[in-house]
Amino acid sequence: MFISDLHLTEDEPANVAAFLAFLQGPAREAASLFILGDLFEYWAGDDDLETPFNARMAAAIRALADAGTAVFFMTGNRDLLAGADFARAIGATLLEDPARVRFGDHDDQDGTDAAPVLLLAHGDALCTDDLAYQAFRRQVRAPAWQAGFLAQPLAARKAFIAGLRQKSEAAKAEKAMEIMDVNADAVATLLREHGYPTLVHGHTHRPASHRLTVDGRDCVRRVLPDWRGHACWLHWDGRDFTPESGDAVRI
């Protein structure tokens, strides 16, 4: 199962309820769960794991992992500061962005490797038309910037992020929607670099299945939905994708 863009926060109790119900229900039936970024509305650093809300969410994911579902986590633009301590707390494997994931281990009849491969990404790196955002992305993902930011007191980091979120919402209101979507050339370049696999990503909040041709190859780009009070996930059985959803159930 693949999910992204839950933007969990205490201010959105319906999303929280949907997530907890998902973890205790449908996700228990999955061999693996891939969380492709923006799980939280924001993440100020792994030293914020002791905050009651964050601890509750981490414990719920850990319970899923302990029950036998392999959990994989990729940071998004909202939770880019989630690191090794967070991954350990939730019992997850931390993925790079993008990540090539091979499912199964088998050969076809002529002896060539036929194990299916998916390319997973959060998706924000593909929105290259938004030049201001890409400049910001490069800045905040630089190791030196992150080290300096994480050296500040937690309260100061949270205050900075709160101000940043307000500026971000104001900036998005002034941008054309097309600028905040993926760039076709960026998608083609990524697929070319990784051997034309099926691409699964989130970030844009525009769930769809896109068929495209890159260098004469038929490719597929699957966009995950954001959560708006109910669970939404993409199920893959090794051959076909199925978008699925469930009603928010308060536990």
38 is in an annotated binding site: yes
In a domain, 170, yes or no: yes
245 is in an annotated binding site: no
Question: Average model confidence (pLDDT) for the chain?
Answer: 91
Cα–Cα distance for residue pair 35/69, rounded to 1 Å: 12
Residue type, position 167, single letter: K
Q: Which helix (H) or strand (E) holds 154?
A: helix 154-173
Cα–Cα distance for residue pair 113/79, rounded to 1 Å: 35
In a domain, 73, yes or no: yes
Over residues 75-104, the mean pLDDT reads: 95
7 is in an annotated binding site: yes
In a domain, 82, yes or no: yes
130 is in an annotated binding site: yes
78 is in an annotated binding site: yes
Domains in the chain: how many in total? 1
- Residue 62 CA, chain-centre distance (Å), reads 17
In a domain, 111, yes or no: no
Q: Is the pLDDT of residue 105 over 60?
A: no
Q: Is the pLDDT of residue 104 over 70?
A: no
5 is in an annotated binding site: yes
What's the pLDDT tens digit per position in 217-250? 999 999 999 999 999 999 999 888 999 998 543 3
In a domain, 250, yes or no: no
What's the pLDDT tens digit per position in 19-65? 999 999 999 999 999 999 999 999 999 999 999 999 999 999 999 99
Burial profile 108-145: b = 16 or more Cβ within 10 angstroms, e = fewer: eeeeeeeeeebbbbbbbbbbbbbeebeeebeeeeeeee
In a domain, 107, yes or no: no
pLDDT at 112: 52
Residues of the domain holding 15: 2-100+116-245
Among 128, 43, 33, 35, smallest CA distance to 77 is for 43
201 is in an annotated binding site: no
* CATH assignment at residue 220: 3.60.21.10
175 is in an annotated binding site: yes
In a domain, 81, yes or no: yes
Q: Is the pLDDT of residue 130 over 80?
A: yes
In a domain, 184, yes or no: yes
209 is in an annotated binding site: no
Over residues 114-138, the mean pLDDT reads: 93
122 is in an annotated binding site: yes
Whether the ω angle into residue 153 lies within 30 degrees of 0, i.e. cis, is no
Q: In sequence order, what DSSP letters do the residues of 25-84 get, joined into one string? A: TGGGG-SEEEEES--BS----GGGTTSHHHHHHHHHHHHHHHTT-EEEEE--SSSTT--H
pLDDT at 169: 73
